Amino acid sequence: MLERYIHSQAVLQQTTLIPSKKLSQYLNHLEKKGYSNRTIQAYLSAVLHCAYWLKESNAMERLTKEDIDFFLSQHLPHCSCLLPFQCYKKMNKAALNRWFEIICLPVQPFQLLSFNEQLVHDFDQYLIDVAGLSPSTRQKRRQVSREFLDWVSRRPNVQLDSLCTRNLTDYISDCALRGVSQGTLAVTACSMRRFLQYLAANDLCPSCVTAYIPHPKVIENIPLTPALSSLERERLLNAFDKNTASGKRDYAMVRCLNDLGIRTSDVALLCLDDLDWRKGVMHLHAGKSRRRRLLPMPATLQDALVDYLCNGRPTTTERALFVHHRAPKGEAVLPSTVRQAIRCAFKRAGFPAASSQVHRLRHSMATCLLAQGNSLKTIADFLGHKSLETTCRYLSVDRTSLQAVALPWPGGI
């Protein structure tokens, strides 16, 4: 089986660095998930490349996320290996992450963590158990806290238990010098504040410093892209090939976005158990609003879902509503999968790239509800906004109502 994916004798010699049982387990998993022979060959090459870089027998069984990040960011761009390994970052990242999940993840909890990693791990548990944040938000919080701890560890004169406002200002200034956007800097400052509040609650840093983190002011711009008209919506919905299984899936996903105005992350999280066919409602998982929602399913959405479930969805043990039709076949889709499907539909429908934002569907739903005379509170509840300030941004597009409350110009027209 292994020889089927080896493209040279030199690469075949590197398989001795990894136990054949683990390699077979990895290859069996890829075959079961429907990966093509060419993709499996590329993934195997990436795993062997990492093993060759580590130059230690059986090291791949103890591979960590930090090893993968270092390999991708430090070794791959400057790779000088003599063997014919592929150096495409996206492919190597996918292959090594899949190896980590299948081979290394079951034994990771038994490894001893460093002090910084233990702090980040405990902070993440706090974000899950107490704050109830979404996985994507937690990932950003972990990234910022890990980078801040690394920054502190590289400076002998900076200690967690004696942090001062000068240290925090220096760190935010260092982040700004990297050339990141103002929005990214604001997210970094917010993540730092949450992390330092956690540390202060556990007596690991002074509690006073959490109030003095520099926070750039982000000016909210009114969205320039208008809402989709009824004709544009129809053009987009007609851009899907409903004669194919993947086309039925993508059409059902865009129906969720168009008919309910939910986020792509909400679509990716939907499970079969979230659909109540008798009552005609859909249960949404707690997302950014941290609370579950119940939305009615229009007949157009129900028809699209029934067509997909009966005639398009592949056989799988996954309870996720929308799954991959190609490798990894049968696994739940990601929000990026939903976004890519909608972007491709925009392109097929002839929309320019500047007007092909997936969020336009949610924006269009809010604008439609506003035009029908619904109150801000109703729109906020329907969209899952916690704050009315978020919903108020859509008032800028209701020019008819704004004209009615506008004061006359002094001196006449």
Q: What is the pLDDT along the chain (413 residues), one digit of tens a residue?
A: 555 666 555 556 667 778 888 888 888 899 888 888 889 888 988 988 898 888 765 678 888 888 888 889 888 888 888 777 888 899 999 999 999 988 877 654 445 668 888 899 999 999 888 887 777 788 889 999 999 999 998 888 888 888 888 888 888 888 888 877 788 888 888 898 999 999 988 888 887 777 677 777 665 555 556 788 889 999 999 999 999 999 999 999 999 999 998 989 899 999 999 999 999 999 987 655 556 788 999 999 999 999 999 999 999 999 999 999 988 888 999 999 999 999 999 999 999 988 888 988 988 888 888 777 777 788 787 887 777 767 776 665 555 655 665 667 776 65
Under a CB-based contact definition with an 8 Å cutoff, are residues 99 and 60 in contact?
A: yes
Compute how many other C-beta atoms are within 10 angstroms of the C-beta atom of residue 374: 15
The H or E element spanning position 341 is helix 335-348
How large is the C-alpha radius of gyration of the chain?
25
122 vs 138: CA distance, rounded Å: 12
DSSP state for residue 397 in the 8-state scheme: G
Quote the pTM value.
Answer: 0.71
Best CATH choice for the domain 230-398 from the list 2.60.40.10, 1.10.3720.10, 1.10.443.10, 2.30.130.10: 1.10.443.10
Compute how many other C-beta atoms are within 10 angstroms of the C-beta atom of residue 382: 18
Residues sharing a CB contact under 8 Å with residue 188, sequence separation 6 or more, in sequence order? 144, 172, 175, 180
The H or E element spanning position 95 is helix 89-99
Residue 179 gets the label, from left (phi > 0), alpha (psi -120 to 50) or beta, of left
Rounded to 5 degrees, φ, ψ at 230 are -65, -35
Closest C-alpha to 27, from 129, 94, 99, 86: 99
- Name residue, tokens 């027209």: 413
Res 301: pLDDT: 95
Under a CB-based contact definition with an 8 Å cutoff, are residues 159 and 185 in contact?
A: no
Residue type, 325: H
Q: What is the fold, at CATH topology level, of the domain defined by 115-212?
A: DNA polymerase; domain 1 (1.10.150)
Residues sharing a CB contact under 8 Å with residue 395, sequence separation 6 or more, in sequence order? 370, 376, 401, 402
Give domain limits for the chain. Answer: 2-110, 115-212, 230-398
- Name residue, tokens 């001795």: 16
51 vs 18: CA distance, rounded Å: 7
Compute how many other C-beta atoms are within 10 angstroms of the C-beta atom of residue 390: 15
400 vs 167: CA distance, rounded Å: 51
- What is the CA 52 to chain-centroid distance, rounded? 31
Under a CB-based contact definition with an 8 Å cutoff, are residues 330 and 29 in contact?
A: no
What tokens appear for 236 in the block?
A: 């987009």
Compute how many other C-beta atoms are within 10 angstroms of the C-beta atom of residue 16: 10
